[in-house]
Amino acid sequence: MSIEEKDPLQLIAGKRTEQEATFISTVHQGPERELARPFGIPDWKKLGILLLSSITPILFFTHNINLDKLILNWKISFDVNLVTSLIIIVLGVVAIVPKALKNPMLWLSQKTITSLVVLLLLAAFFLFKVLNLGTFSYSLDKLDLSSGIGLLCLGPVVFLAFRKSVAAVAVLVAFFLWWGFSIRGFGTETVVDLFTSENGARLLRNLTPPRWEYFTRVIDPMLLTVQTAITSTVIGVIIALPLSILAARNTTPHPVIYNVVRFLINTIRAVPALIWALLLIPFVGLGPGAGILGLGLHSVSVLTKLFAESFESVKPQPLEALNAVGANGLKTFRWGVFPQAFPLVASYSIFNWESNGRDSTVVAFVGGGGVGFLLQQNLSVLDYTNVAVLLIVLIITVAIMDRFSDFIRSRII
């Protein structure tokens, strides 16, 4: 009797018996070595060093091991312009010279010549004090030995982290989080006070009932807040789009331009929108203008970074195909980069509009008008019933903006 003529039920039973036997043998043998030890065989020597190097700094930082302070009376001062120009030259030398020594033909390339010219111009700009940054001075009178030794004890952990030790990286992250939460005046008692404070309960009682007669004075400022968000977002998108082309690695015409634009954007983004609004008041005066320009500058810095990252995340195959048929940089961006990145660009723009809608309330505290200015006025006189009306209107407006942005996003993306 051939195999084909056997009863199908017998074949199924035979396969089931083989599967059961394989399962039983696997259970007895245990998992494979890679699965049994997914992180490899532990190096107990390194783990011991990590444990000691993570506990010892905490003992020093918490002053459980308390050492005296060392009196130094040191004073450090230097010309910021001179040091900045030297740093620019050193960074340029480190970035260009090693590659040029390996390939002497790079000295004559247009990219190297352009980089050297730009770096020398930047160094001369600071060296000749076109923008005078003054003299930096710092006095170090005493040195906390406990904190200093604690930092030194972290040295082995940092070394192992650079050697790609996962455990060392985990220890550094845990230590960083511990340091972040070790704030004086913040702890479990803060959370307890949040729910048991009598002053907080009194504030909630003062917020109700809202004085709805005040609503007639809120409509125009609320509309001004939305207008501020729209205008600042449009300013941000218009300026950020060309800057992001220069700030993306796959679309920038030159590495020097890439680094200069990135540095400029990081500098702008480091300053909050509220501070920009305060700095712009002497130029444009009190009113919505300072708030709009402050939010616009902040939007430019944020959107440039986000747009550039979206351009860098596109698939390279369409770009290679366009380059193969002779497309220039502008056509490559128009037909290869932007169509792929457009969903992210649109999403980031809409999100920035939502963010500006909230931030415009804070910017209005400096006299830019809108709901924020009314909030500042009523909080200063402790008129919480009016504050309740403003908060309710603000919450409803932000919710409407969120739903509207979701609708636009669903139609575009």
Give tens-digit pLDDT for 288-328. 888 899 999 999 999 999 999 999 888 878 777 877 777 77
pLDDT at 60 over 70: yes
DSSP 8-state symbol, 68: P
DSSP assignment string, 189-211: HHHHHHHH-HHHHHHHHHH-S--
Whether the full predicted model's pTM is greater than 0.75, yes or no, is no
Tokens of 220: 């125009």
Helices 288-312, 273-284: inter-axial angle, 10-degree rounding: 130
Mean pLDDT of 383-403: 88
Token pair 């300013």 is at which residue? 235
Q: Look at residue 136 and give its three-state secondary structure.
A: strand
Q: What is the pLDDT of residue 178?
A: 82
Contact present, 149 and 85 (Cβ < 8 Å)? no
DSSP state of 216: G
Q: Quote the distance between the C-alpha of residue 398 and its chain's center.
A: 23
Percent of the chain predicted with pLDDT > 90: 12
Tens of pLDDT, residue by residue over 149-208, are 888 878 888 887 888 778 788 888 888 888 888 787 777 777 787 778 777 778 788 788
Q: Determine which helix (DSSP H) or strand (DSSP E) holds 135, and give its type and residue range.
A: strand 135-144
**What is the average pLDDT score of the chain?**
81
- H/E run at residue 69: strand 69-79
